[in-house]
Structure 1
Amino acid sequence: MVDFIRDFLFRRQGAAPEGKPHEQAELRLAAAALLVEAAKLDGSFDGMERVHIATLLKDRFGMDGADVAELIAAADEETELAGGLYGFTKEVRVNFDHEERISMIEMLWEVAYADGSLHDFESNMLRRVAGLLYVTDRESGDARKRVLDRLSGQAGGAGDIEG
């Protein structure tokens, strides 16, 4: 099944100018898997988190809704089969420049706070992923602050977000 999904993604997804379609599909799958893994850490992967991940992936990769839904489904399955975060983070680390890796951390913070609070497991994962992506604690903290600022602006007050 995973091979079918990967083959589908490789055929379906276009490449960025600097990459081959296969490489772009792997990168998208790795990024989506990290986001899905972050969403699952609090024990649930609810509709609000799925919508948030879909929005982030659409914005980041310029994908349409159907492709994003398929990518999230593939990432969900991939996280069930994977033996950890290393493979996903390696793909992102190798293919994203430093600013893009910081952006990935910011996306992860957004997913972690999508339900309005930060679970200890989510916080721990973010620290580990930041280290694996060679993003400093300060850069990760700055990304977290940007997310909290955006969310508190949307919620109408910082008291609505726990963290």
Structure 2
Amino acid sequence: MPEADARHALGALLVRVAKADGAYLFQEIEEIDHLLADIYALNAVEAAKMRAECEKLEGAMPDTHELADVLTTAISTGERDMFVRALWKVADADGQRHEREQQVVAIATQTFGMAPEAAAALRD
């Protein structure tokens, strides 16, 4: 089990958003790998390995607030906005907006202390 640090908590939230609609699709996995590679300067293999670790963490931490709280205490406002954009990218990766995915993003952004309007603006 990976440590529940900010890097893995973000990855676990990305996985949680992707799985929220009951389908964990290739497009979502690919987007998560791409985001992890970009955010943390990883190569493709390192990003896939990190995502696999994050999948384990996501399964072990059922509370979305708890995952988001790990990030809240470890990130700056600028990073928070970047992470919220990343959550929206995964939510939109399959070309559809599912209510359950939006709910996970809403829980995370609420935990970050972000107003719903601000989170919606980062989506668009």
Normalised TM-score (structure 1): 0.72
Flag the structure with more relative contact order, 1 or 2, with Cα contacts below 8 A and sequence separation at least 6. 2
- 1:120 equivalent in alignment to 2:99: yes
Corresponding residue for residue 44 of structure 1: 23
Identity %: 24
Asked if 2 retains the 8 angstrom alpha-carbon contact of 1:38 and 1:108, the reply is: yes
| 2:46 aligned with 1:81 | no
Q: Report the number of matched residues.
A: 124
Q: Distance in 2 between matches of 1:80 and 1:53?
A: 16
Question: Gapped runs of 5+ residues in structure 1?
Answer: 8-24, 146-163
Matched, 1:72 2:51: yes
Listed as ranges, the matches of 1:74-113 within 5 Å are 74-113=53-92
CA shift, 1:138, in A, is: 2.1
Separation of aligned partners in 1, 2:57 and 2:110 = 22
Stretches of 4+ moved more than 3 A in 1?
A: none
Contact 1:54 1:68 in 2 (8 A): yes
Task: Tell whether the 8 Å contact from 1:54 to 1:65 is kept in structure 2 after alignment.
Answer: yes
Unaligned runs of 5+ in 2: none
C-alpha distance in 2, partners of 1:30/1:41? 16
Deviation, 1:26, is: 1.7
Q: Check if 1:33 corresponds to 2:44.
A: no
SS of equivalent to 1:42: coil
Q: Kindly provide the amino acid, as one letter, of the partner of residue 61 in structure 2.
A: A
Cα distance between partner residues in 1 of 2:10 and 2:80? 10
Match of 1:129 among 96, 99, 108: 108
Instruction: Output the CA distance in 2 between the equivalents of 1:83 and 1:37.
Output: 9
Alignment partners' CA distance in 2, 1:48 and 1:103: 20
Cα pair 1:27 1:95 within 8 Å, conserved: yes
Structure 2 length as normaliser, TM-score?
0.93
Provide the rounded CA distance (Å) in 2 between the counterparts of 1:102 and 1:136. 12
Q: Secondary structure at the match of 2:24?
A: coil
- How far off is 1:77 after superposition? 1.4
Corresponding position of 1:13: none
Q: Deviations over 1:113-157 (max 9, x none)?
A: 000011111111111111101122222111111xxxxxxxxxxxx
Residue 51 of structure 1 aligns to a residue whose secondary structure is: helix
Provide Cα deviations, 1:10-33, integer angstroms capped at 9, x if missing partner. xxxxxxxxxxxxxxx822111100
